[in-house]
Structure 1
Amino acid sequence: MCIVTFRWAPESDQPLLLAANRDEFYERPTERMHWWPGDEVLSGRDQRSGGAWLGITRHGRFAMVTNIRNPALRKQGAPSRGALVRQFLEGVQSAANFAHATMADAGRYEGFNLLCGEVGASARSLWFANSQEGAAHAVEPGVHGLSNASLDTPWPKLLRMRQGFRHALAESDPAQRNTRLLRLLQNATPTPNAQLPNTGVPFPVERMLGSIFIVSDNYGTRASTVLSVIGDQVTMREAGFGVGGEPQDTLAFNFRIQSPPAP
């Protein structure tokens, strides 16, 4: 997943609203958003490594990961960064402890950003960890954005997405708001060449990656996801895309967060 904007409001009745695109090579085998065996974890799955990029559980555990775009951080034989999402969703460790433990082990992985937290009414927290920075911290309430640098790094496409996200917040009807966010995630407006970041990849690749919605011959946006938590009600919508941005069906999931099991 390569771009996400979200509002974190742990003291409100709507603690989390998130809009995200997952960008990946078209040939990489992927399972769409679904309930995993055991009916506890709702997430897509990378069929090559078994990891995930974004998911939530029936008990309100949430996690997502993006890569850091820096060729110098590549490691031959490194474990899948998607395993971090899977481990948190399937585990019981608090978000704070998991984020700190992940930083202690970050050197084994290629560069990554991790968001993990608990969004149920009984426990709310959201933590961010960046492998390059080597530190984890609680996310402050507010509207944030994340792509392939660090939290709130002002890349032009992220600024455009965050502005569109704020406009969508003015929509009072949650269903209409989520529809607007899915449209926002399909915005293919390119970034002017002079404004593109320099992340170490060839310039034609940098230019191709400069839009919110990415399309190319072999790589692009595979899924657009909107996640909304209102009270204990979770709504997830995922629009899928194939080669060249060909639209697939939109999946919808709705469930109530359950109280965590007694220790």
Structure 2
Amino acid sequence: MCLIAWNWQPGSETPLLLISNRDEFHARPAEPLHRWPDAPILAGRDIQAGGTWLGVGCGGRLAALTNYRSSVPARKDAPSRGQLVTDFLQSPLDAAAYLRRLQPDASTYNPFNLLVFDGHTLLGLESRGARIVTLQPGIGAVSNADFHIPWPKLRLLSSGLAACVERGEIDDEHLWDLLQSATLAADTELPQTGVPLELERALSAVFITTPSYGTRACSVVRVTTADTRFSELRFDAHGTTGHSTLTLREGKGSSKLST
């Protein structure tokens, strides 16, 4: 997962509306959004490492992960970051307690940002400094830097979400349009993360398209007082490959699927 934006409204009928894009190499295999047979989780699944980038569980629980982009190569012996998402979704701990438990071990993973919601509280963890981030109600976002670092794509997606919320245009079709923006940032606005300039340009779009790497999934998650609804659009290097919508209600899962 490489770009996440949300509208958190505690005490409302929809406490959390989250939109996100997962960017990954096209060659890395993954299962689409589905109800996991071995756990009360709705999520896609990374076949290579077994975890996930975004998932929801019982009680309105949600977790999402982004990697931290730098020129330092990833450690091949590090544990899977995607397992942190599934661990939280099945944990009995609330968001704060889970992140406090994770803090001492954060540096054993390749760098990441973890967003967790326990149905009541939304928090983040930046692994570089093992820093728990207190998130305020309203619009927020994170990409491949620290929380709220205003990369152009992050500003574009979060401002677009804010405008949709203000206009009351929060149906999926409006949010898909935000997530599929291919607008590139000007060179003067690009972050300097250690990758070549041509690649930095390509990565500056909300929706990334390159022959070998790009946006593999767009997601919209609505956590309401009644249930959690998770919609996913999937892509490969040639275009759209499928669409799924699943709903998780307390104590059971019900689904409506289209591909």
Judge same fold: TM > 0.5, yes or no.
yes
CA distance in 2, matches of 1:193, 1:167: 26
Aligned to 1:131: 127
Aligned to 2:82: 82
> Cα distance 1:17–1:70, how it changes in 2: closer, same or farther (>3 A)?
same
Letter in 2 for 1:133: G
Counterpart check, 1:192 vs 2:191: no
* Match among 191, 204, 207 for residue 210 of structure 1: 204
| Structure 2: 5+ residue stretches without partners | 253-259
Aligned to 2:256: none
Q: Does 150-159 or 9-18 show the bigger shift? A: 9-18
CA distance in 2, matches of 1:67, 1:38: 26
Letter in 2 for 1:151: F
TM-score when normalising by structure 2: 0.92
CA distance in 2, matches of 1:256, 1:201: 43
- Quote how far apart the aligned CAs of 1:172 are: 3.5
CA distance in 1, matches of 2:179, 2:60: 24
Q: Is the 8 A contact 2:116 2:123 kept in 1?
A: yes
- Quote how far apart the aligned CAs of 1:173 are: 6.3
CA distance in 1, matches of 2:81, 2:202: 23
> Cα distance 1:73–1:125, how it changes in 2: closer, same or farther (>3 A)?
farther
CA distance in 2, matches of 1:62, 1:69: 23
Letter in 2 for 1:252: T
CA distance in 2, matches of 1:93, 1:3: 26
Aligned to 2:64: 64
- Quote how far apart the aligned CAs of 1:189 are: 0.6
Counterpart check, 1:49 vs 2:49: yes
Q: Counterparts of 1:1-263 in structure 2 under 5 Å?
A: 1-38=1-38, 40-72=40-72, 74-119=74-119, 124-172=120-168, 174=170, 177-244=171-238, 246-258=239-251
Q: Does 88-97 or 154-163 show the bigger shift? A: 88-97
Q: Is the 8 A contact 1:60 1:258 kept in 2?
A: no
Identity %: 37
CA distance in 2, matches of 1:145, 1:242: 25
CA distance in 2, matches of 1:130, 1:152: 11
CA distance in 2, matches of 1:39, 1:59: 14
SS in 1 for 2:11: coil
> Cα distance 1:105–1:73, how it changes in 2: closer, same or farther (>3 A)?
farther
Letter in 2 for 1:30: A
| Structure 1: 5+ residue stretches without partners | none
Q: Does 247-256 or 205-214 show the bigger shift? A: 247-256
SS in 2 for 1:99: helix
- Quote how far apart the aligned CAs of 1:73 are: 6.4
CA distance in 2, matches of 1:61, 1:101: 17
CA distance in 1, matches of 2:103, 2:40: 26
Moved over 6 A (4+): none
CA distance in 2, matches of 1:258, 1:37: 14
- Quote how far apart the aligned CAs of 1:91 are: 2.0
- Quote how far apart the aligned CAs of 1:63 are: 0.5
> Cα distance 1:73–1:107, how it changes in 2: closer, same or farther (>3 A)?
farther
SS in 1 for 2:118: strand
- Quote how far apart the aligned CAs of 1:62 are: 0.9
Count of aligned positions: 252
What is the CA RMSD across the aligned residues, in angstroms? 1.6
Q: Is the 8 A contact 1:73 1:110 kept in 2?
A: no
Q: Is the 8 A contact 2:107 2:130 kept in 1?
A: no
Letter in 2 for 1:145: A
Can you list the C-alpha shifts for 1:167-203, whole angstroms capped at 9, x where unaligned? 21134365xx221111110100111111100011111
Q: Is the 8 A contact 2:60 2:227 kept in 1?
A: no
